[in-house]
Amino acid sequence: MAQTLKTYISGLQSTRAWRSIFRGGSGANNLRRSMAVQQNVFLHLASVKISRKSLSFRATWFLGTLSLGTFLILATTGILLMLYYHPSVPQAYADMKDLQFVVSAGVFLRNLHRWSAHAMVFLVFAHMFKVFYRGAYRSPREFNWVVGVMLLIVTLLLSYTGYLLPWDQLAFWAITVGSNLMSSVPVLGQKFRFLMLGGNTVNANALLRFYVLHCVILPVAAALLLAIHFWRIRKDGGLYTGPGDSNE
């Protein structure tokens, strides 16, 4: 059976369609293996070869991968939630309630989105602490640390903008307090607050602005920064594997 499956797959890999999509293909020798990575738009962000040590639990506790996992869960559940959510003032709260009580699996998706959001903030901080206390931010990985800080800021902004969307009392007053904090920035504070809310109070404009930031601008920024973050791992010689790292 296994043999038949193997011959079937290798037969598939030699078809013209497969070869046109995946070019070199995998297996056989190191050249073909590395080409399989280099010629795939998603895989080429990663290195062709990585050390066994960097895959161990000890090296990373898998915190970066887990952060990416929560991000992917959030993107998937978020897109699904968008299908039932209208970012307008009387409707937003009712839609949130509908998702909880009316829509099939709505409560599951909403809770998955909410808990993953909390988990992502926790995991991103944990990832940062792990990198810091191992000293993995040092040369040649300084720039990737900077990209990571940007990703932390984007994560926190995603968390903050998402907080307003249920449009309940907690959301409304949290954003009222948050936007008033912003207005205490010297000179430009009031202007920043006005631009962020699109008005003087937390209102329909603020809800729409936060929605666009939460669903379009910030996720796109996060995806771009993630691509740079992962590509830099390869460019900086792989993950830091502890004292005696080849790049130290």
Partner 1 sequence: MSQEGNMDSRPKPDSESTRREAFVKLGIGAACLAGAGAAVFGFEFLSPNVLYEASPIANAGKPDRYPVGSVTQDLKTGIYVIHGPEGFYALSAVCTHLGCLTAWNADLGIVACPCHGSKFNELGEKIDGPAPRGLPWLRVWLSDEGDLMVDRSATTLPKQFLRT
Name the strand (E) or helix (H) holding 33.
Answer: helix 30-38
Is the CB of 6 or the CB of 191 nearer to partner 1?
191
Is the CB of 112 or the CB of 197 nearer to partner 1?
197
Q: Whole-number minimum distance, CB 187 to partner 1, in Å? A: 15
Whether residue 37 contacts residue 44, with contact meaning beta carbons closer than 8 Å, is answered with yes
Task: Indicate whether 185 belongs to the interface with partner 1 (CB under 8 A).
Answer: no
x/- track of binding to partner 1 for residues 144-173 (CB under 8 A)? -----------------------------x
Site residues for partner 1, window 205-224 (CB under 8 A)?
A: 205
- At 88, give phi and psi (nearest 5°): -125, 160
Is the CB of 178 or the CB of 237 nearer to partner 1?
178
Residue with tokens 């902004």: 157
Is the CB of 71 or the CB of 211 nearer to partner 1?
211
Q: Whole-number minimum distance, CB 224 to partner 1, in Å? A: 20
Task: Indicate whether 199 belongs to the interface with partner 1 (CB under 8 A).
Answer: yes
Spatial separation of the C-alpha atoms in residues 165 and 210, rounded to whole Å? 8
Q: Whole-number minimum distance, CB 92 to partner 1, in Å? A: 16
Q: Site for partner 1 (CB under 8 A): which residue of 72, 105, 153, 195?
A: 195
Token code pair at residue 219:
């996720």
Q: Read out DSSP for 149-206?
A: HHHHHHHHHHHHHHHHTT-SHHHHHHHHHHHHHHTTSTTTHHHHHHHHHTSSSSSHHH
Other CB atoms within a 10 A radius of the CB of residue 106 amount to 19
Other CB atoms within a 10 A radius of the CB of residue 104 amount to 7
Task: Indicate whether 194 belongs to the interface with partner 1 (CB under 8 A).
Answer: yes
Site residues for partner 1, window 39-78 (CB under 8 A)?
A: none
| Contact range with partner 1 by CB under 8 A, out of 7-15, 78-86, 197-205, 234-242 | 197-205
Q: Site for partner 1 (CB under 8 A): which residue of 177, 185, 220, 224?
A: 177
Contacts made by residues 115-120, CB under 8 angstroms, sequence distance 24+: 116/70, 116/73, 116/74, 116/77, 117/70, 117/74, 117/158, 117/159, 117/162, 119/70, 120/67, 120/70, 120/71, 120/74, 120/155, 120/159
Amino acid at 61: W
How many binding residues for partner 1 (CB under 8 A)?
A: 15
Q: Site for partner 1 (CB under 8 A): which residue of 13, 38, 201, 247?
A: 201
Q: Site for partner 1 (CB under 8 A): which residue of 35, 68, 150, 204?
A: 204
List contacts with partner 1 (CB under 8 A).
173, 176-177, 179-181, 194-195, 198-201, 203-205
